[in-house]
Structure 1
Amino acid sequence: MSKRYNRFSDISTSEKILNTVFLLTIGLAYLVALINMYYTHQARDGKPGISIEDIVILYHGSNQQTRLGSAINGIMEPNLRFKSDKEVILKWIQNGAEEFTYKTDIAPILNRDCVQCHNPASNPNLPDLTNYIGVSTVAHAGAASLPSLIKVSHIHLFGIAFILYFIGKIFLLCDMNIYVKRIAVVIPFIAMLLDVLSWFITRWFSGFAYVVVLSGTLMGLSMAIQILLSIYQMWFYKKTSNLTL
């Protein structure tokens, strides 16, 4: 005789409410994260909106444009209090981004307009603009540094893994084909791991930027399906089943 496991029809209304508000909050947080990602990484190529070229510049770098130059021409330009400061920074980059002129010409601008967000305490995912070493890494053409990728990766893996686990635990209460369910709970984890791995590969092979986009999209879609299906079955689905886990 097969063992019977709990389904949404077996849990209390209080548990359903708790699960629902958790899933809705996670869904909203993910949408906000997407908006933040858009505004953080768009226009690196100097053009409005986010494109595959922006992803290439983020991880692989660009021979034509540095990360700081791309940001000053795009997303960071509105943050400058004086528009003339844009030309000061771009000229400094073109002249070799020397440390001496950084201290006299660039540091005062960045300290005034940029470091409130671009510092390790506020946002470890953004480049550190509080000192010359941090600014230099984005003022010269080249790929994202390995230390920065490792730092972002471990934060991403720890945080997202916990979220996927709790979403999956709730999703397991769905009444559906057990083999489909087993595959469904694994897909977002595989997509997350592929996404992070692709960051490092894109550093050397720019074409892998497409894998970054596709794996991130797969993870988001699989999360959305689990969330929506779980909420639907909690409140609207009546059929029960003796399927085993």
Structure 2
Amino acid sequence: MKLESTGCTDPGLIRAYNQDSYYIDPAGRFFIVADGMGGHAGGEEASRIATEEIRSYLDKNWQSPESSLEILEQALFTANQAIVKDQQNHPERADMGTTAVVIMIGPDELPVCGHVGDSRLYRLRESQLEQITEDHTWIARAIKIGDITAEEAREHPFRHVLSKCLGREDLHQIDIQPVDLQLGDRLLLCSDGLTEELIDQKILEYINKAPNLEQAAHTLIEAAKEEGGHDNITVVLVSVEA
């Protein structure tokens, strides 16, 4: 499976700092996006710790006999523990946390995705954009049970309230799932700074119109800024090539 990939991040138009981080493995084995919270220093540190811990764990355990599902789950739990430890060592950052979304593409198994929070993984296949992850938010739960519509959710005051994130001692479950990939598929990992500003249909249109992945990533960033750019914006795009 040959992969092409690109990524970029931007603080947006409102915030003076960027609490997002991302990582693209040079060998194309895994891709990470994290969106920190808890103030300037706290959010930046939480997303940095998460990204580095996940990267380090996956790199060290790539040849482990465990399944990709087990390896990725443990990588995210390891990141959570590292953030909690940092909180204990630095009480001024006690409320920090971060989302994380990771796609891991092993040589012999189906790709797997792990996520915590509301950073998302999408798959674009034959002009259809599908959200693979399910947001860990109060509002996503309300939409699922029919208490609120997706349109109403975009303006709801509780739309940013997370039900789960890295950096919590009571984090006991992480969503891990296999992801089917076919030739021609494209993957989008992003922070909510993108999806807060652009509906899925607009994201699909911008990706499809761009001449290449790099231009698509930059176009998405700029489009989100044109719609307000209220939050940090991070985009990682991966294409499955022949």
Normalization by structure 1: what TM-score? Answer: 0.31
More helix as a share of residues? 1
- The structure richer in strand per residue is 2
Q: Which has the higher contact order (CA 8 A, sep 6+)?
A: 2
Q: TM-score, normalization: structure 2? A: 0.32
